[in-house]
Structure 1
Amino acid sequence: MDMKSSAAALGYATARPATQPQHGEDSAENTFASAAQGLSDTIRNAEQTAMSSMTGGADPHALVQALAQTELAVETAVTIRDKVVEAYQEILRMPV
Protein backbone atom coordinates (compact mmCIF):
# COMPACT_ATOMS: atom_id res chain seq x y z
CA MET A 1 0.00 0.00 0.00
CA ASP A 2 2.86 2.35 0.79
CA MET A 3 4.35 1.51 -2.61
CA LYS A 4 1.26 2.76 -4.45
CA SER A 5 1.09 6.03 -2.55
CA SER A 6 4.78 6.77 -3.13
CA ALA A 7 4.39 6.02 -6.83
CA ALA A 8 1.40 8.35 -7.02
CA ALA A 9 3.31 11.05 -5.15
CA LEU A 10 6.28 10.62 -7.48
CA GLY A 11 4.01 10.83 -10.53
CA TYR A 12 2.35 13.94 -9.16
CA ALA A 13 5.70 15.58 -8.40
CA THR A 14 7.12 14.89 -11.84
CA ALA A 15 4.03 16.02 -13.76
CA ARG A 16 4.25 19.52 -15.18
CA PRO A 17 1.58 21.73 -13.65
CA ALA A 18 -0.75 23.36 -16.16
CA THR A 19 0.18 26.80 -14.82
CA GLN A 20 3.84 26.52 -15.74
CA PRO A 21 4.78 27.67 -19.25
CA GLN A 22 6.26 25.02 -21.47
CA HIS A 23 9.67 25.94 -22.83
CA GLY A 24 11.13 24.09 -25.76
CA GLU A 25 10.50 23.21 -29.37
CA ASP A 26 6.75 22.62 -29.12
CA SER A 27 5.75 25.64 -27.05
CA ALA A 28 3.04 27.98 -28.30
CA GLU A 29 5.46 30.89 -28.03
CA ASN A 30 7.84 29.30 -30.54
CA THR A 31 4.97 28.35 -32.83
CA PHE A 32 3.59 31.89 -32.95
CA ALA A 33 7.05 33.39 -33.28
CA SER A 34 7.88 31.17 -36.25
CA ALA A 35 4.50 31.94 -37.87
CA ALA A 36 5.07 35.68 -37.46
CA GLN A 37 8.60 35.35 -38.84
CA GLY A 38 7.27 33.41 -41.83
CA LEU A 39 4.69 36.11 -42.53
CA SER A 40 7.36 38.79 -42.30
CA ASP A 41 9.66 36.87 -44.65
CA THR A 42 6.85 36.36 -47.18
CA ILE A 43 6.00 40.06 -47.20
CA ARG A 44 9.67 41.06 -47.46
CA ASN A 45 10.16 38.64 -50.38
CA ALA A 46 7.13 40.08 -52.20
CA GLU A 47 8.41 43.62 -51.71
CA GLN A 48 11.82 42.71 -53.10
CA THR A 49 10.25 40.93 -56.06
CA ALA A 50 8.00 43.94 -56.75
CA MET A 51 10.95 46.34 -56.66
CA SER A 52 12.95 44.02 -58.91
CA SER A 53 10.03 43.75 -61.32
CA MET A 54 9.71 47.54 -61.54
CA THR A 55 13.35 47.88 -62.55
CA GLY A 56 13.09 45.03 -65.04
CA GLY A 57 15.02 42.48 -63.00
CA ALA A 58 12.16 40.01 -62.46
CA ASP A 59 9.55 38.61 -64.78
CA PRO A 60 5.87 39.42 -64.26
CA HIS A 61 5.09 35.79 -63.45
CA ALA A 62 7.37 35.93 -60.39
CA LEU A 63 5.67 39.15 -59.28
CA VAL A 64 2.20 37.62 -59.55
CA GLN A 65 3.33 34.51 -57.68
CA ALA A 66 4.92 36.56 -54.88
CA LEU A 67 1.81 38.72 -54.53
CA ALA A 68 -0.44 35.65 -54.41
CA GLN A 69 1.71 34.13 -51.66
CA THR A 70 1.59 37.38 -49.72
CA GLU A 71 -2.17 37.62 -50.10
CA LEU A 72 -2.60 34.08 -48.80
CA ALA A 73 -0.26 34.75 -45.84
CA VAL A 74 -2.10 37.93 -44.86
CA GLU A 75 -5.50 36.24 -45.16
CA THR A 76 -4.24 33.43 -42.93
CA ALA A 77 -2.94 35.91 -40.34
CA VAL A 78 -6.26 37.78 -40.34
CA THR A 79 -8.20 34.52 -39.92
CA ILE A 80 -6.03 33.49 -36.98
CA ARG A 81 -6.43 36.92 -35.41
CA ASP A 82 -10.22 36.71 -35.80
CA LYS A 83 -10.28 33.27 -34.16
CA VAL A 84 -8.17 34.53 -31.23
CA VAL A 85 -10.44 37.53 -30.73
CA GLU A 86 -13.51 35.29 -30.93
CA ALA A 87 -12.05 32.94 -28.32
CA TYR A 88 -11.19 35.86 -26.06
CA GLN A 89 -14.72 37.23 -26.31
CA GLU A 90 -16.12 33.77 -25.55
CA ILE A 91 -13.95 33.59 -22.42
CA LEU A 92 -15.23 37.01 -21.34
CA ARG A 93 -18.81 35.77 -21.67
CA MET A 94 -18.21 32.84 -19.33
CA PRO A 95 -19.77 33.18 -15.91
CA VAL A 96 -17.35 33.38 -13.02
Structure 2
Amino acid sequence: MNVASVAAGAYARTQSLGLDTDGSSSGTDAVDNFGSVLNSAVQGAIDQGHTADRLTAQGLSGGGDVTSIITAVSRAQLALQTTTTIRDRVVQAYQDIMKMSI
Protein backbone atom coordinates (compact mmCIF):
# COMPACT_ATOMS: atom_id res chain seq x y z
CA MET A 1 0.00 0.00 0.00
CA ASN A 2 1.50 3.31 -1.04
CA VAL A 3 1.20 6.74 0.54
CA ALA A 4 -1.27 7.97 -2.09
CA SER A 5 -3.71 5.16 -1.39
CA VAL A 6 -3.42 5.69 2.38
CA ALA A 7 -4.11 9.40 1.93
CA ALA A 8 -7.06 8.66 -0.37
CA GLY A 9 -8.47 6.25 2.20
CA ALA A 10 -8.12 8.82 4.99
CA TYR A 11 -9.81 11.43 2.82
CA ALA A 12 -12.67 9.05 2.04
CA ARG A 13 -13.15 8.30 5.75
CA THR A 14 -13.37 12.00 6.61
CA GLN A 15 -15.86 12.56 3.80
CA SER A 16 -18.03 9.71 5.09
CA LEU A 17 -18.24 11.46 8.47
CA GLY A 18 -20.37 14.22 6.99
CA LEU A 19 -17.92 17.11 7.08
CA ASP A 20 -18.66 20.08 4.85
CA THR A 21 -16.37 20.82 1.92
CA ASP A 22 -14.45 23.32 4.02
CA GLY A 23 -13.93 20.70 6.75
CA SER A 24 -16.36 22.33 9.15
CA SER A 25 -19.29 20.76 10.88
CA SER A 26 -21.70 21.95 13.51
CA GLY A 27 -20.84 22.11 17.24
CA THR A 28 -20.73 18.74 18.90
CA ASP A 29 -20.82 16.94 15.55
CA ALA A 30 -17.35 18.30 14.81
CA VAL A 31 -16.06 17.07 18.16
CA ASP A 32 -17.63 13.65 17.68
CA ASN A 33 -16.27 13.44 14.13
CA PHE A 34 -12.78 14.44 15.23
CA GLY A 35 -12.93 11.88 18.01
CA SER A 36 -14.06 9.13 15.69
CA VAL A 37 -11.37 9.97 13.11
CA LEU A 38 -8.73 9.99 15.83
CA ASN A 39 -10.05 6.73 17.26
CA SER A 40 -10.04 5.16 13.80
CA ALA A 41 -6.45 6.27 13.19
CA VAL A 42 -5.24 4.89 16.52
CA GLN A 43 -7.09 1.62 15.95
CA GLY A 44 -5.49 1.35 12.51
CA ALA A 45 -2.04 1.81 14.05
CA ILE A 46 -2.80 -0.86 16.65
CA ASP A 47 -4.02 -3.24 13.94
CA GLN A 48 -0.84 -2.67 11.94
CA GLY A 49 1.20 -3.55 15.03
CA HIS A 50 -0.78 -6.74 15.64
CA THR A 51 -0.37 -7.77 12.00
CA ALA A 52 3.38 -7.18 12.20
CA ASP A 53 3.59 -9.18 15.43
CA ARG A 54 1.64 -12.08 13.95
CA LEU A 55 3.72 -12.21 10.77
CA THR A 56 6.97 -11.88 12.73
CA ALA A 57 5.97 -14.80 14.95
CA GLN A 58 5.23 -16.86 11.84
CA GLY A 59 8.62 -15.92 10.41
CA LEU A 60 10.42 -16.93 13.61
CA SER A 61 8.74 -20.32 13.52
CA GLY A 62 9.97 -20.91 9.97
CA GLY A 63 6.84 -19.91 8.07
CA GLY A 64 5.79 -16.82 6.23
CA ASP A 65 7.30 -14.77 3.46
CA VAL A 66 10.23 -12.54 4.37
CA THR A 67 9.01 -9.75 2.09
CA SER A 68 5.55 -9.66 3.68
CA ILE A 69 7.09 -9.68 7.15
CA ILE A 70 9.39 -6.76 6.37
CA THR A 71 6.52 -4.88 4.72
CA ALA A 72 4.24 -5.42 7.73
CA VAL A 73 6.94 -4.30 10.17
CA SER A 74 7.67 -1.21 8.06
CA ARG A 75 3.97 -0.33 7.95
CA ALA A 76 3.70 -0.75 11.71
CA GLN A 77 6.75 1.46 12.20
CA LEU A 78 5.31 4.14 9.91
CA ALA A 79 1.95 3.97 11.73
CA LEU A 80 3.69 4.40 15.09
CA GLN A 81 5.77 7.33 13.82
CA THR A 82 2.66 8.98 12.37
CA THR A 83 0.71 8.49 15.60
CA THR A 84 3.59 9.94 17.62
CA THR A 85 3.85 12.95 15.31
CA ILE A 86 0.12 13.62 15.55
CA ARG A 87 0.28 13.33 19.34
CA ASP A 88 3.16 15.80 19.48
CA ARG A 89 1.31 18.29 17.28
CA VAL A 90 -1.88 18.01 19.34
CA VAL A 91 0.10 18.62 22.54
CA GLN A 92 1.87 21.59 20.92
CA ALA A 93 -1.46 23.04 19.76
CA TYR A 94 -2.87 22.65 23.27
CA GLN A 95 0.15 24.38 24.76
CA ASP A 96 -0.16 27.21 22.21
CA ILE A 97 -3.83 27.66 23.09
CA MET A 98 -3.03 27.72 26.80
CA LYS A 99 -0.47 30.51 26.18
CA MET A 100 -3.09 32.74 24.53
CA SER A 101 -4.39 35.62 26.56
CA ILE A 102 -8.11 36.06 26.93
- Mark yes or no: TM-score above 0.5: yes
CA RMSD of aligned residues (A): 1.9
C-alpha distance 40-94 of structure 1, shift in aligned 2 (>3 A): same
Q: Which residue of 2 aligns with 1:28?
A: 34
Q: Which residue of 1 aligns with 2:90?
A: 84
For structure 2, list consecutive stretches of 5 or more residues without a partner in the other structure.
1-24
Distance in 1 between residues matched to 2:71 and 2:78, nearest whole Å: 11
Match runs of 1:35-54 below 5 Å: 35-54=41-60
Moved more, 59-68 or 74-83: 59-68
Is 1:93 the counterpart of 2:96 in the alignment? no
AA aligned opposite 1:22: D
For structure 1, list consecutive stretches of 5 or more residues without a partner in the other structure.
1-15
Question: What is the aligned-residue identity percentage?
Answer: 32
Query: Secondary structure, in 3 states, of the residue corresponding to 1:22?
Result: helix
User: What is the number of equivalent residue pairs in this alignment?
Assistant: 77
Indicate the structure (1 or 2) with the bigger Cα radius of gyration.
1
**CA-CA distance at 1:63 after TM superposition:** 1.3
Q: What TM-score, normalized to structure 1?
A: 0.73
Please list every run of at least 4 consecutive aligned residues from structure 1 whose deviation after the TM superposition is greater than 4 angstroms.
Answer: none
Distance in 1 between residues matched to 2:40 and 2:26, nearest whole Å: 25
